[in-house]
Homo-oligomer: A and B are copies of this chain.
Amino acid sequence: MKSFASDNYAGVLPEVMEALAKANSQHVRSYGADDITKRVVARFKEVFDADVDVYFVFNGTGANLLSISSATHSYNSILCADTSHIYNDESSAPETFTGCRFFPLKANDHGKLDIETISERLIRKGDVHYAQTAMLSITQATEYGTVYKPEEIKAISELTKEHGLYLHMDGSRFFNAVASLKCGLNDISGKAGVDILSLGGTKAGMMYGEAVVVFNKELSKHIGYKHKQIIQLASKTRFIAAQFEAMLQDELWRKTATHANKMAELLCQSLTPNRKIKITKPVQANALFAEIPRNWYEPLQEHSPFYVWKDSTHEVRFMCAWDTKEEEISNFVKAIEALP
Protein backbone atom coordinates (compact mmCIF):
# COMPACT_ATOMS: atom_id res chain seq x y z
CA MET A 1 0.00 0.00 0.00
CA LYS A 2 1.13 3.54 -0.69
CA SER A 3 -0.95 6.04 1.19
CA PHE A 4 -1.60 9.75 1.23
CA ALA A 5 -3.23 9.54 4.65
CA SER A 6 -0.35 10.62 6.84
CA ASP A 7 3.40 10.86 6.82
CA ASN A 8 3.35 8.54 9.81
CA TYR A 9 2.17 5.72 7.53
CA ALA A 10 5.64 5.76 6.00
CA GLY A 11 8.49 3.62 7.22
CA VAL A 12 12.02 4.51 8.22
CA LEU A 13 14.78 6.11 6.15
CA PRO A 14 17.53 3.64 5.20
CA GLU A 15 20.14 5.99 6.69
CA VAL A 16 18.25 5.88 9.97
CA MET A 17 18.08 2.09 9.91
CA GLU A 18 21.83 2.00 9.39
CA ALA A 19 22.38 4.37 12.28
CA LEU A 20 20.30 2.14 14.53
CA ALA A 21 22.35 -0.88 13.56
CA LYS A 22 25.56 1.02 14.17
CA ALA A 23 24.43 2.24 17.59
CA ASN A 24 23.75 -1.34 18.60
CA SER A 25 27.29 -2.31 19.39
CA GLN A 26 27.85 -2.69 23.11
CA HIS A 27 26.77 -1.73 26.62
CA VAL A 28 26.26 1.98 27.19
CA ARG A 29 24.86 3.95 30.09
CA SER A 30 21.10 4.20 30.13
CA TYR A 31 18.67 7.13 30.38
CA GLY A 32 20.73 9.41 28.16
CA ALA A 33 24.02 9.29 30.07
CA ASP A 34 25.71 7.53 27.16
CA ASP A 35 28.25 8.97 24.76
CA ILE A 36 26.07 8.75 21.67
CA THR A 37 23.42 10.90 23.29
CA LYS A 38 26.01 13.41 24.50
CA ARG A 39 27.52 13.59 21.03
CA VAL A 40 24.18 14.19 19.36
CA VAL A 41 23.17 16.85 21.87
CA ALA A 42 26.44 18.63 21.02
CA ARG A 43 25.55 18.25 17.35
CA PHE A 44 22.21 19.99 17.98
CA LYS A 45 24.08 22.96 19.42
CA GLU A 46 26.09 23.14 16.21
CA VAL A 47 23.27 22.82 13.73
CA PHE A 48 21.07 25.23 15.67
CA ASP A 49 24.08 27.47 16.20
CA ALA A 50 22.90 28.09 19.75
CA ASP A 51 23.47 26.82 23.26
CA VAL A 52 20.28 24.78 23.28
CA ASP A 53 19.29 22.10 25.73
CA VAL A 54 17.94 18.94 24.13
CA TYR A 55 15.65 16.28 25.52
CA PHE A 56 14.82 13.19 23.50
CA VAL A 57 11.30 11.84 23.86
CA PHE A 58 9.22 9.06 22.36
CA ASN A 59 6.50 10.87 20.46
CA GLY A 60 4.97 14.16 19.45
CA THR A 61 2.47 14.47 22.27
CA GLY A 62 5.31 13.76 24.66
CA ALA A 63 7.38 16.53 23.08
CA ASN A 64 4.51 19.00 23.27
CA LEU A 65 3.62 18.23 26.86
CA LEU A 66 7.21 18.25 28.05
CA SER A 67 7.63 21.65 26.41
CA ILE A 68 4.48 23.03 27.94
CA SER A 69 4.89 21.55 31.39
CA SER A 70 8.41 22.97 31.65
CA ALA A 71 6.93 26.47 31.37
CA THR A 72 3.70 26.32 33.32
CA HIS A 73 2.10 25.93 36.70
CA SER A 74 -1.20 24.16 37.07
CA TYR A 75 -3.12 27.44 37.41
CA ASN A 76 -1.98 28.59 33.97
CA SER A 77 -3.60 28.56 30.58
CA ILE A 78 -2.10 27.96 27.15
CA LEU A 79 -3.30 29.56 23.93
CA CYS A 80 -3.31 27.43 20.79
CA ALA A 81 -5.00 27.32 17.40
CA ASP A 82 -8.41 25.68 17.26
CA THR A 83 -6.99 23.59 14.43
CA SER A 84 -3.93 22.46 16.37
CA HIS A 85 -2.98 18.87 17.04
CA ILE A 86 -2.63 19.61 20.73
CA TYR A 87 -6.22 20.82 20.84
CA ASN A 88 -7.79 18.13 18.70
CA ASP A 89 -5.77 14.96 18.66
CA GLU A 90 -4.04 14.40 21.95
CA SER A 91 -7.07 13.34 24.00
CA SER A 92 -7.08 15.17 27.33
CA ALA A 93 -3.40 14.41 27.87
CA PRO A 94 -2.56 18.13 27.84
CA GLU A 95 -4.92 18.82 30.73
CA THR A 96 -4.19 15.63 32.65
CA PHE A 97 -0.45 16.15 32.65
CA THR A 98 -0.27 19.92 33.11
CA GLY A 99 -3.50 20.65 34.98
CA CYS A 100 -3.82 23.75 32.77
CA ARG A 101 -6.62 25.19 30.66
CA PHE A 102 -6.11 25.22 26.88
CA PHE A 103 -7.86 28.12 25.16
CA PRO A 104 -8.49 27.69 21.43
CA LEU A 105 -7.88 30.67 19.13
CA LYS A 106 -9.50 30.77 15.73
CA ALA A 107 -6.91 29.99 13.09
CA ASN A 108 -7.11 32.00 9.89
CA ASP A 109 -7.85 30.44 6.52
CA HIS A 110 -4.26 29.31 6.25
CA GLY A 111 -4.29 27.64 9.64
CA LYS A 112 -2.16 30.33 11.22
CA LEU A 113 -2.77 32.58 14.20
CA ASP A 114 -3.07 36.29 13.48
CA ILE A 115 -1.63 38.91 15.80
CA GLU A 116 -5.11 40.36 16.30
CA THR A 117 -6.58 37.02 17.28
CA ILE A 118 -3.85 36.41 19.81
CA SER A 119 -4.08 39.94 21.21
CA GLU A 120 -7.77 39.62 21.90
CA ARG A 121 -7.13 36.75 24.29
CA LEU A 122 -4.32 38.37 26.26
CA ILE A 123 -6.68 39.26 29.04
CA ARG A 124 -7.26 39.30 32.77
CA LYS A 125 -3.64 39.27 33.88
CA GLY A 126 -3.43 38.97 37.65
CA ASP A 127 -7.08 37.95 37.98
CA VAL A 128 -7.10 34.85 40.18
CA HIS A 129 -10.44 33.72 38.79
CA TYR A 130 -8.93 33.27 35.35
CA ALA A 131 -6.35 30.61 34.47
CA GLN A 132 -3.36 32.87 33.92
CA THR A 133 -2.03 32.67 30.37
CA ALA A 134 1.60 31.57 30.37
CA MET A 135 2.26 30.26 26.89
CA LEU A 136 1.29 30.41 23.25
CA SER A 137 1.72 27.32 21.12
CA ILE A 138 1.95 27.57 17.34
CA THR A 139 2.45 24.78 14.81
CA GLN A 140 5.11 24.90 12.11
CA ALA A 141 4.35 23.68 9.46
CA THR A 142 0.68 24.21 10.38
CA GLU A 143 -1.97 21.55 10.34
CA TYR A 144 -3.08 23.05 7.00
CA GLY A 145 0.31 22.46 5.43
CA THR A 146 1.17 26.14 5.45
CA VAL A 147 4.30 27.72 6.85
CA TYR A 148 4.85 30.73 9.11
CA LYS A 149 7.50 33.05 7.69
CA PRO A 150 10.36 34.13 9.99
CA GLU A 151 8.96 37.65 10.28
CA GLU A 152 5.53 36.31 11.20
CA ILE A 153 7.05 34.27 14.00
CA LYS A 154 9.09 37.25 15.18
CA ALA A 155 5.96 39.41 15.34
CA ILE A 156 4.16 36.76 17.36
CA SER A 157 7.19 36.31 19.59
CA GLU A 158 7.39 40.02 20.31
CA LEU A 159 3.75 40.06 21.30
CA THR A 160 4.18 37.11 23.64
CA LYS A 161 7.29 38.64 25.23
CA GLU A 162 5.45 41.91 25.84
CA HIS A 163 2.81 40.01 27.74
CA GLY A 164 5.14 37.70 29.62
CA LEU A 165 4.19 34.57 27.69
CA TYR A 166 6.49 31.83 26.50
CA LEU A 167 6.31 30.78 22.85
CA HIS A 168 6.16 27.08 22.01
CA MET A 169 6.44 25.69 18.54
CA ASP A 170 4.91 22.32 17.74
CA GLY A 171 7.31 21.27 15.01
CA SER A 172 6.18 17.76 14.22
CA ARG A 173 6.78 18.84 10.59
CA PHE A 174 9.44 21.44 11.42
CA PHE A 175 11.88 20.02 8.87
CA ASN A 176 9.28 20.45 6.13
CA ALA A 177 8.85 24.07 7.14
CA VAL A 178 12.59 24.81 7.11
CA ALA A 179 12.96 23.06 3.78
CA SER A 180 10.06 25.05 2.39
CA LEU A 181 11.57 28.35 3.52
CA LYS A 182 15.08 27.31 2.40
CA CYS A 183 16.41 28.77 5.66
CA GLY A 184 18.41 27.49 8.62
CA LEU A 185 17.01 25.52 11.54
CA ASN A 186 17.35 28.42 13.91
CA ASP A 187 15.90 31.08 11.60
CA ILE A 188 12.34 30.05 12.44
CA SER A 189 12.96 28.83 15.96
CA GLY A 190 15.40 30.37 18.46
CA LYS A 191 16.38 33.37 16.38
CA ALA A 192 12.75 34.13 15.68
CA GLY A 193 11.97 34.16 19.39
CA VAL A 194 10.70 30.63 19.96
CA ASP A 195 11.42 29.61 23.57
CA ILE A 196 10.99 25.89 23.17
CA LEU A 197 10.51 23.62 20.16
CA SER A 198 8.99 20.18 19.70
CA LEU A 199 11.17 18.89 16.89
CA GLY A 200 9.53 16.04 15.01
CA GLY A 201 11.49 12.98 14.00
CA THR A 202 8.91 10.27 13.41
CA LYS A 203 7.02 11.88 10.53
CA ALA A 204 10.32 12.96 9.01
CA GLY A 205 11.39 9.36 8.54
CA MET A 206 12.52 8.10 11.92
CA MET A 207 11.16 4.96 13.55
CA TYR A 208 10.20 6.80 16.74
CA GLY A 209 11.54 9.73 18.69
CA GLU A 210 11.27 13.50 18.82
CA ALA A 211 13.40 16.14 20.48
CA VAL A 212 12.51 19.03 22.73
CA VAL A 213 14.89 21.88 21.97
CA VAL A 214 15.13 24.58 24.65
CA PHE A 215 16.28 28.02 23.55
CA ASN A 216 15.23 29.95 26.64
CA LYS A 217 17.28 28.84 29.63
CA GLU A 218 14.50 29.93 32.00
CA LEU A 219 12.76 26.77 30.89
CA SER A 220 15.69 24.53 31.79
CA LYS A 221 15.11 24.58 35.53
CA HIS A 222 12.45 21.89 35.82
CA ILE A 223 12.54 20.16 32.46
CA GLY A 224 14.95 17.40 33.41
CA TYR A 225 12.63 16.28 36.20
CA LYS A 226 9.54 16.69 34.03
CA HIS A 227 11.21 14.59 31.32
CA LYS A 228 11.13 11.56 33.60
CA GLN A 229 7.85 12.42 35.31
CA ILE A 230 5.99 12.68 32.02
CA ILE A 231 7.03 9.09 31.12
CA GLN A 232 9.20 10.21 28.20
CA LEU A 233 12.72 9.33 29.31
CA ALA A 234 13.85 6.26 27.34
CA SER A 235 16.17 3.81 29.06
CA LYS A 236 17.94 3.11 25.78
CA THR A 237 18.06 6.76 24.75
CA ARG A 238 21.02 6.14 22.45
CA PHE A 239 18.68 4.74 19.83
CA ILE A 240 16.71 7.96 19.58
CA ALA A 241 19.86 10.04 19.57
CA ALA A 242 21.41 7.91 16.85
CA GLN A 243 18.39 8.39 14.62
CA PHE A 244 18.64 12.15 14.96
CA GLU A 245 22.36 11.96 14.22
CA ALA A 246 21.53 10.32 10.93
CA MET A 247 18.89 12.96 10.18
CA LEU A 248 21.36 15.78 10.85
CA GLN A 249 24.22 14.20 8.90
CA ASP A 250 24.73 16.32 5.76
CA GLU A 251 21.27 17.75 6.34
CA LEU A 252 19.56 14.51 5.38
CA TRP A 253 16.38 16.02 6.80
CA ARG A 254 16.50 18.81 4.22
CA LYS A 255 16.83 16.40 1.35
CA THR A 256 13.94 14.25 2.44
CA ALA A 257 11.67 17.09 3.56
CA THR A 258 12.30 18.97 0.34
CA HIS A 259 11.34 15.86 -1.54
CA ALA A 260 8.10 15.39 0.37
CA ASN A 261 7.23 19.05 -0.13
CA LYS A 262 7.96 18.72 -3.84
CA MET A 263 5.68 15.71 -4.13
CA ALA A 264 2.83 17.69 -2.57
CA GLU A 265 3.51 20.51 -5.00
CA LEU A 266 3.52 18.05 -7.90
CA LEU A 267 0.23 16.59 -6.76
CA CYS A 268 -1.18 20.09 -6.51
CA GLN A 269 -0.09 21.00 -10.03
CA SER A 270 -1.40 17.74 -11.41
CA LEU A 271 -4.82 18.18 -9.83
CA THR A 272 -5.28 21.90 -10.33
CA PRO A 273 -6.57 21.55 -13.90
CA ASN A 274 -9.27 19.14 -12.72
CA ARG A 275 -12.43 21.22 -12.48
CA LYS A 276 -14.09 18.85 -10.04
CA ILE A 277 -11.37 19.58 -7.51
CA LYS A 278 -10.89 22.78 -5.56
CA ILE A 279 -7.52 23.29 -3.91
CA THR A 280 -8.33 24.95 -0.58
CA LYS A 281 -5.00 25.85 1.00
CA PRO A 282 -1.68 27.04 -0.39
CA VAL A 283 0.79 24.16 -0.65
CA GLN A 284 3.83 25.19 1.37
CA ALA A 285 4.91 21.94 2.94
CA ASN A 286 4.02 18.29 2.30
CA ALA A 287 0.22 18.44 2.42
CA LEU A 288 -2.44 19.19 -0.14
CA PHE A 289 -5.95 20.16 0.93
CA ALA A 290 -8.74 19.94 -1.59
CA GLU A 291 -12.49 19.68 -1.91
CA ILE A 292 -13.46 16.66 -3.94
CA PRO A 293 -16.77 15.08 -4.90
CA ARG A 294 -18.09 12.99 -2.08
CA ASN A 295 -18.71 9.93 -4.21
CA TRP A 296 -14.96 9.78 -4.81
CA TYR A 297 -14.24 8.94 -1.19
CA GLU A 298 -14.74 5.22 -1.44
CA PRO A 299 -13.01 4.34 -4.71
CA LEU A 300 -10.15 6.69 -3.97
CA GLN A 301 -9.60 5.42 -0.42
CA GLU A 302 -9.35 1.96 -1.89
CA HIS A 303 -6.65 3.08 -4.26
CA SER A 304 -4.64 5.03 -1.67
CA PRO A 305 -5.89 5.99 1.76
CA PHE A 306 -6.26 9.69 2.57
CA TYR A 307 -7.77 11.70 5.39
CA VAL A 308 -11.19 13.37 5.29
CA TRP A 309 -10.53 16.73 6.92
CA LYS A 310 -13.97 18.33 6.89
CA ASP A 311 -16.77 16.13 5.76
CA SER A 312 -19.31 18.95 5.47
CA THR A 313 -17.41 20.54 2.58
CA HIS A 314 -15.83 17.31 1.28
CA GLU A 315 -12.42 18.70 2.08
CA VAL A 316 -9.71 16.07 2.19
CA ARG A 317 -6.03 16.01 2.96
CA PHE A 318 -3.39 14.29 0.82
CA MET A 319 -0.11 13.99 2.70
CA CYS A 320 3.20 13.18 1.08
CA ALA A 321 6.11 11.54 2.85
CA TRP A 322 9.85 11.13 2.42
CA ASP A 323 9.23 8.01 0.38
CA THR A 324 6.45 9.22 -1.90
CA LYS A 325 7.48 8.58 -5.49
CA GLU A 326 6.69 10.66 -8.58
CA GLU A 327 5.26 7.55 -10.14
CA GLU A 328 2.88 7.11 -7.24
CA ILE A 329 1.69 10.66 -7.70
CA SER A 330 1.05 10.12 -11.38
CA ASN A 331 -0.70 6.82 -10.72
CA PHE A 332 -2.90 8.52 -8.15
CA VAL A 333 -3.69 11.37 -10.50
CA LYS A 334 -4.61 8.86 -13.18
CA ALA A 335 -6.86 7.04 -10.75
CA ILE A 336 -8.57 10.32 -9.94
CA GLU A 337 -9.06 11.17 -13.57
CA ALA A 338 -10.65 7.78 -14.12
CA LEU A 339 -13.30 8.50 -11.49
CA PRO A 340 -16.81 9.20 -12.73
Give me the interface of A with B, judged by CB distance under 8 Å: 1-3, 5-6, 8-12, 17, 20-21, 23-31, 58-62, 65, 69, 73-77, 88-97, 99-102, 104, 128-132, 202-203, 207-208, 222, 224-236, 239, 305, 321, 323
Q: Most chain-B Cβ atoms within 10 A of its Cβ — which of A61, A89, A129, A231? A: A231
User: Which of B9, B99, B100, B235 has a CB less than 8 Å from the CB of A27?
Assistant: B9
A74 → B minimal CB distance (Å)? 5
Cα distance A308–B96 in the bound complex, in angstroms: 33
Beyond A11-B26, A58-B58, A95-B95, 13 additional contacts (C-beta under 8 Å) are: A1-B28, A3-B27, A3-B29, A6-B30, A62-B231, A69-B74, A75-B91, A76-B92, A91-B228, A95-B99, A95-B100, A95-B101, A203-B235
Chain B, Cβ-Cβ closest to A14: B24
Q: Is the CB of B235 within 8 A of A202?
A: yes
Cα distance A61–B323 in the bound complex, in angstroms: 34
User: Which of B8, B29, B231 has a CB less than 8 Å from the CB of A230?
Assistant: B231
Q: Is the CB of A9 within 8 A of B24?
A: no
Cα distance A2–B26 in the bound complex, in angstroms: 7
Known: A1-B27, A74-B74. A128 touches B233 (CB 8 A): yes
Q: Is the CB of B11 within 8 A of A225?
A: no
A272 → B minimal CB distance (Å)? 25
Chain B, Cβ-Cβ closest to A63: B231
B-chain residues with CB within 8 Å of residue A100 when the two chains form the complex: 92, 95-96
B-chain residues with CB within 8 Å of residue A2 when the two chains form the complex: 26-27
A226 → B minimal CB distance (Å)? 6
5 nearest A-B pairs in the assembled complex, by CB-CB distance: A92-B131, A96-B99, A8-B235, A75-B225, A95-B95
B-chain residues with CB within 8 Å of residue A202 when the two chains form the complex: 235-236
